[in-house]
């Protein structure tokens, strides 16, 4: 039986770096195939129309948030579900650890609604897609890499990714609160949650965090800190 785990966290929480280390260590530690699924950014960046050189939905969203917010959220949840269904079909019986779950789109939809970028009707439709995704994609566990908004902003400044220079501290603070709410709600629904402190340098906390993830996936008692 394929097991699906999701790494959640704010922008610049260190999810990608953490997944890279998981890719190296988890298969050996767990003794079974372990597939790492990063966010399908290539799909969001590719031209929407076949044989076109136009911008992808991600670039369109950056150019006009109000016009393309709903279309981008639709593309995100559809591409995540598709990616996971393909991996489940191609790797039966494996462990899949993915960067963000389809249902975590609720975090960003709620934030966009507070900005007036999504209407209540659009949010209601998005919530229907999330409920559908929870029926199709069965979550074995959630790994929450929790980092303070201040630390996220510091990392955003250091890594200098294209498009991130416009990110404001208020957005990161809002997303931090919405992430906390999302994780609490998922735990209240009965989902297994592992909270990891991602505040310190990744290499400092990596050994203990990898051990905790191994125990979490193996369903062994958590390591006391």
**CATH number of the domain enclosing 190:** 3.40.50.300
Q: What is the pLDDT of residue 220?
A: 55
Q: What is the pTM of this model?
A: 0.91
Report the alpha-carbon distance of residue 199 to residue 185 in Å, rounded: 23
SS3 161: coil
The predicted-structure confidence for 146-204, as pLDDT tens digits, reads as follows 999 999 999 999 887 666 777 899 999 999 999 999 999 999 999 999 999 999 877 78
Phi and psi at residue 93, to the nearest 5°: 80, 5
SS3 146: strand
Q: Domain limits at 205? A: 3-41+70-217
**Chain-centre distance of CA 88, in angstroms?**
18
Half-sphere exposure of 94 toward its Cβ, with a 13 Å CA cutoff?
21
Buried b (16+ CB within 10 A) or exposed e, 68-87: bbbebbbbbbebbbebbeeb
Residue 69 labelled as part of a binding site:
no
Report the alpha-carbon distance of residue 24 to residue 62 in Å, rounded: 33
SS3 205: helix
Residue 160 labelled as part of a binding site:
no
- Is 222 part of any domain? no
Residue 25 has pLDDT above 90, yes or no: no
- Is 52 part of any domain? no
Residue 14 labelled as part of a binding site:
yes
Name the catalytic one among 3, 53, 99, 199: 99
Question: Per the structure, how many domains does the chain have?
Answer: 1
Residue 13 labelled as part of a binding site:
yes
- Is 50 part of any domain? no
Report the alpha-carbon distance of residue 193 to residue 205 in Å, rounded: 18
- Is 46 part of any domain? no
Residue 17 labelled as part of a binding site:
yes
- Is 101 part of any domain? yes
Phi and psi at residue 163, to the nearest 5°: 90, -15
The predicted-structure confidence for 83-118, as pLDDT tens digits, reads as follows 999 999 999 999 999 999 999 999 999 999 999 999
> Does the active-site annotation cover 20?
no
Instruction: Compute CA distances 177 → 12, 13, 146, 153, 223, whole Å.
Output: 15, 14, 11, 15, 27
Residue 150 or residue 49, greater confidence: 150
- Is 63 part of any domain? no
- Is 224 part of any domain? no
Query: Under 8 Å CB-to-CB from 112, ≥6 apart: which residues?
Result: 65, 69, 73, 118
- Is 180 part of any domain? yes
């Amino acid at each position: 039986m394929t097991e699906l785990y999701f790494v959640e966290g704010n922008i610049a929480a260190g999810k990608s770096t953490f997944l890279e280390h998981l890719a190296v260590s988890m298969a050996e530690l767990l003794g079974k195939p372990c597939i790492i699924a990063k966010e399908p950014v290539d799909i969001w960046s590719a031209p929407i129309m076949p044989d076109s050189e136009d911008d992808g939905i991600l670039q369109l969203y950056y150019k006009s948030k109000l016009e393309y917010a709903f279309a981008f959220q639709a593309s995100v949840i559809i591409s995540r579900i598709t990616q996971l269904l393909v991996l489940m079909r191609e790797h039966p019986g494996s462990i899949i650890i993915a960067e963000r779950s389809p249902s975590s789109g609720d975090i960003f939809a709620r934030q966009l609604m507070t900005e007036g970028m999504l209407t209540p009707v659009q949010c209601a439709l998005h919530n229907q897609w999330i409920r559908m995704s929870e029926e199709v994609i069965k979550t074995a566990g959630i790994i929450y890499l929790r980092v303070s908004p201040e630390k996220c902003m510091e990392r955003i400044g250091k890594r200098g990714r294209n498009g991130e220079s416009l990110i404001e501290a208020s957005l990161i603070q809002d997303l931090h609160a919405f992430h906390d709410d999302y994780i609490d709600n998922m735990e209240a629904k009965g989902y297994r949650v592992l909270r990891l402190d991602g505040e310190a340098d990744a290499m400092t906390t990596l050994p203990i965090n990898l051990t905790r993830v191994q125990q979490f996936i193996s369903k062994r008692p958590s390591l006391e800190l």
